[in-house]
Amino acid sequence: MKEEYAPLFTPWKVGNVEIKNRIVLAPMGGTCLFGWMEPCHFDKEAAKLILNVAKNNAGLVIPGIAPVRDVMGRRWLYTNKKMFRELKEFVEELHATGAKIFIQLTAGFGRAMALSDPLAMLASNKVLNKIASPFLDMEYQTAAPSPLPNRWADIETRAITKKEIRDIVYAFGETARLCRDAGVDGVEVHAVHEGYLLDQFTLKYCNHRTDEYGGSFENRYRFAVEIVEEIKAKCGKEFPVSLRYSVVSKTKGFREGAVPGERYIEIGRTMQESEKAVKYLQEKGYDMLNCDNGTYDAWYWAHPPAYMPQNCNLKDVAHIKQFTDLPVVCAGRMTPAAGAEAVSGGQIDAVAVGRQFLTDPAWVTKLMEEREEDIMPCICCHNACFDLTKFEGHGNMQDFGDTMHMCRCALNPETMHSNKYKIVSAKKKKKVAVIGGGIGGMETARVLKLRGHEVKIYEKTEELGGVFIAAAASEYKENDRRLIAWYRRQIEKLGIPVHFNTEIADPDALDADEIVIATGAAANRLHMPGAERALDAVDFLLDPSKAGEKVVIIGGGLTGCEIAYDLCLEGKKPAIVEMKNDLMAVKNLCLANSSFLRDYFKANDVPVYLEAAVTGIGEDSVTIRDKNGDTVTLPADTVITSIGYHPTPLESKKKKVRLVGDCGGVGNLRSVIWRAWDVAMKV
C-alpha cells in the first residue's frame, strides 16, 4: 500500500480488545442485524453486507442501530433468544476474517422518529395508538424527555416516564449481556448523538424536566450514565462499551441547523460543554467515543451531502480528544489521506466510514492493493442509503421514503439487495448495441459484458459521460467526476468497443440482436418574449463564466438550487423563482441534502420567491408575479432556466428496443442505474 496510508493499518485497542486496523464500518440505520423498522429478526441481508466488509479488511464493524424495544410492536429485543443464537453463529464466521464487531443499541428516537401523516395521527391519538399497538408502537417510540415538536410532523411528543426510563436501562443491560454471550466484542450505546432520545435528554432545548433527569449537567447526562453502569454490572467492567457521540450540536433552533462557517448561537451542546462531557462520560465507564456533529435539526453534519466539506467533523473531533484518554473515532466524509494523517498525529484513533462501504464494500482491499482508481466512489447523493424526504414546508412529512429498506446504494444495486440484483451469466450470448454513453448506457453495457454478452456503445459526442459531465462540473463534486473516470476505466478494462462521434438515427441499421436506447433527456424551455436570453442549466454548468453578478434562476428544483449554491460560492448574487410552495419539492431527495441548501440560502440571504410565476424577461431584469399576486421586478444580468427535462428516446420499427436512463422517464442517478440493471439482467 502507499506509505501515506500506513497509519490506518496499525493495531489499536478499545479496552482489552485489540483491533487490527484503524478503519471502522460506521453504523448506518438499515444495516441492523436485528432488523430495522420491521419486527426484530436476524437480518441475513445485512449480515451478508457486513461479512463482505469484514472479509475486505475493515478492522471493526458496527452494524446499524438495534432498538432495545421493537419499533413494530411492544417486544423487547432481549426476549428474542433465537435471534441471539443466530448472532452467535454469525459472529464466529465474522471473527474468522480477523475483524471485530460491536453491536449498536439504541434507546429510541424521541422527537426524531420519522412520521408521515398517518403515523403522526397514531402517535398523537391514544385510542388509535392502542388499536394499532400490536403492530406499531408510535406513542412509545416518539416519547421524548419533555413535550416537544416532532422533527417531521405537526405533533407534540409526550414526555417519557421514569418507569419507561428504568425499563430501557434494564433492556440495555440484558441485551448487552446476550450480545456478549454470543461472542460480540463490545456494544455501542446510541446515543448522545444526532438528537436521538438519549441526546435529547442531554440538550437543554429539548430537556425541560424538573426531576432527576433534567436541569443540571449531571441530571441531563444521567440516562446515558445509568445505561453504561447497567451494562458493566451485567457484562463486567472489561466488556467494551462505546458511545456514539456528537461533539457539537450545530443547531440554531427546532428544524434549523447551522451551516459551515456560519456565525450563530448554539442552543444544543456547545464545545465548552462537550469538553466537560467527554471527561464525565469516561469517568462513568465508557470505553470509546464514536464521534461526529449535529442533530436531526442540523442533519447534514451527521449525514453530510456533497455540499459539506470533506472531513467536515475532523477539526471538532480532534479538539475533543484533548480532553479524554478514550480512543476517539471520527466520521463524516472522511478521506483515507486525512484520516491517516490525523491518526499519525494523534488527533484521532480511527476513521469511521459508512456510505463508501455501501457503494464499494471492497474499497479497503483496493486501497491496500494500490488500486484506488478501481474504487467506485460514493457521491453522497443519499438517493438510496437515506431517502427520507421532506417537502411542502417544514410542517409536513408528505413522503419519508422507504425507511424499511434503507442502506441500499444508488450506484450499487447489489448492496442489501443481493437476491434481486446479481451478476448471472447469460444462457444465450447476444450482440447488444447500446446507443448513448451516459451513466445509464455505460452501466448497462458494463453489466451486459459481465454477463457474457458482446456489447458495443454508440456515443454521439467525443467522450463518455453524457449530461452527468455537466452535473459533475461543480467544484465540490469531485467524487462525481471520479465516478465518471471510474466508468470510463471499467468500459476500457472490460474491452467494450465505443464508437465516438457516432449519432444513430436508425437503430434498425445496427448489427445487433438487441438494442438498448440510452439517449437521455432534453431540457424544457420557456416560451415567452426574452426567453432566448436565458441560459440553460447545462450551458451554465459547463461554462460558469457565462454568468454575471446578478443571476435569476428560474426553477427551484435540485439543479436550480445547486446552481444558486455554486454562484454563492463564487461571491455572486443569485435569486430563485419557483412555482411550487417549497424548494426541491420532489420525492426521493434526502432531507440531509435539501435542508442544507435551504439553511444555506437563509444564512446567506439568498432571495427565494415561492409560488411565483415568471411573466417576462427583459434586457436586465426578470418580472414575476409573486404568491400575493403582486408584480415584482428582479435585477438580472443573467437568467438561467432549470425547469426540468423531457425524455428523448429513439424508436425502432423492426427490433426490440429497451430503454434505460432518462429517455425512459426522467429520474435521478438511482433510477438510471437500477433501471440499467433491470434491463441488463433480462437480456
DSSP SS3 for 165: helix
Matching residue, cell 423531457: 646
The answer to whether the beta carbons of residues 318 and 342 sit under 8 Å apart is yes
d(CA 333, CA 303): 8
Q: How many CB atoms lie within 10 A of CB 196?
A: 24
- Tell me which residue of 593, 559, 597 sits closest to 467, measured CA to CA: 559
Which amino acid is it at 623?
A: T
The answer to whether the beta carbons of residues 669 and 411 sit under 8 Å apart is yes
C-alpha cell at 329: 473515532
d(CA 459, CA 436): 5
Helical spans, DSSP H, in 284-438? 314-321, 336-344, 355-359, 363-368
Q: What residues are paired with 683 via a beta bridge?
A: none
Which helix (H) or strand (E) segment holds residue 633: the answer is strand 631-635
d(CA 515, CA 172): 56
The answer to whether the beta carbons of residues 379 and 483 sit under 8 Å apart is yes
Matching residue, cell 467494551: 240
Matching residue, cell 469517568: 283
526, with CB counted inside 10 A (0-12, 13-18, 19+), is middle
Which helix (H) or strand (E) segment holds residue 552: the answer is strand 550-554
The answer to whether the beta carbons of residues 441 and 468 sit under 8 Å apart is no
Per annotation, catalytic residue among 5, 78, 196, 487: 196
C-alpha cell at 148: 416537544
The answer to whether the beta carbons of residues 579 and 611 sit under 8 Å apart is yes
The answer to whether the beta carbons of residues 605 and 511 sit under 8 Å apart is no
The answer to whether the beta carbons of residues 33 and 407 sit under 8 Å apart is no
The angle formed by the CA atoms of residues 72, 76 and 77, to the nearest 5 degrees, is 95
Backbone angles phi, psi at 583, to 5 degrees: -75, 150
The answer to whether the beta carbons of residues 12 and 349 sit under 8 Å apart is yes
d(CA 83, CA 111): 29
DSSP SS3 for 113: coil
The answer to whether the beta carbons of residues 591 and 388 sit under 8 Å apart is yes
Q: Is 196 an active-site residue?
A: yes
d(CA 475, CA 569): 10
Q: How many CB atoms lie within 10 A of CB 420?
A: 11
d(CA 601, CA 582): 13
First to last CA, the chain: 39
- Tell me which residue of 448, 423, 437, 436 sits closest to 514, measured CA to CA: 448
Which amino acid is it at 303?
A: H
C-alpha cell at 334: 472522511
d(CA 9, CA 57): 10
C-alpha cell at 406: 434503507
Residues taking part in catalysis:
196
